[in-house]
Amino acid sequence: RPCLYPVLGPGGIPLSRCWPLEECPNEAQDHPHHRSLWYSHGDVNGVDFWSEGRNAGVTKHVKFTFLQSGPEVGVIRSHNQLLTQDGQRIATEDLTLRVYNRREHRLLDFDVTLHASEGEVVMGDTKEGTMAIRLTETMRLKPNEFNRGKPTGHIVNSQGVRDGETWGKRAKWVDYYGPVQGQTMGVAIFDHPKNPRHPTWWHVRDYGLFAANPVGRHYFEKQPPGAGNLKFLEGESVTFRYRFYFHRGNEIDAEVEKHYLE
């Protein structure tokens, strides 16, 4: 699937894990489908686009539809197809990425529109998804084997819930911060107020996986299987908008709530 790598925060400090795109020292090599920063879902018409198993689907990049560079904002738009392993097209998607150059921080707006171009589309109720980043290893809430005994990262959401309790909770935003190269760095993801099912649920793990997931109600709230299914008919589309805020310090230092409101 398309992904962004490397993800560099203020000062050019890397904020996403290297592996599996390249090998860096002291990294755990688990979950090979956690490719830096990406969008995918674990059940689209019954096909898994999140993992990379034998029967997993493929998000195929078809073309760039717009590219713009500049000193203040860069824009990338691309058109993709969601295919089964045997090449059957299930749906199409359009991505729009806007990268903002700011003096003290970095912003990325990531918009994804999923089109029911081939018939009805059902985004199935699963925790495996969707707007995601796998953070650099030193930011983890639970350190890997190479970083035991060293300072760890922390997680906080817009409701004030912290660390491991943030998994599966609904919130407008989540901030994950921790030590990187001797500094405290953070990544916040903002759920746009007009997104379906705002405020979204969060599939955020102690090992550095960090994802907004509006479709996992069965897992997050112990609802009946399929309670979170999101359906749209042939010819319809659904759009999700997210902002990534890459910053220094914790959620207080970085005024995450203020930037969310902006």
For residue range 13-25, what is the model confidence (pLDDT) as tens digits?
Answer: 999 999 999 999 9
Residues 8, 12, 18, 21: is their CA dihedral positive or negative? positive
- Residue 186 and residue 247 in contact, taking contact as beta carbons nearer than 8 Å: yes
| pLDDT (0 to 100) of residue 18 | 97
Residue 103's pLDDT band, with cuts at 50, 70 and 90, is confident
In tens, the pLDDT along 36-54 reads 999 999 999 999 999 998 8
pTM equals: 0.97
Res. 90 pLDDT band, cuts 50 70 90: very high
Q: How far apart are CA 258 and CA 51, in angstroms?
A: 35
Per residue in 243-256, pLDDT (tens digit) is 999 999 999 999 99
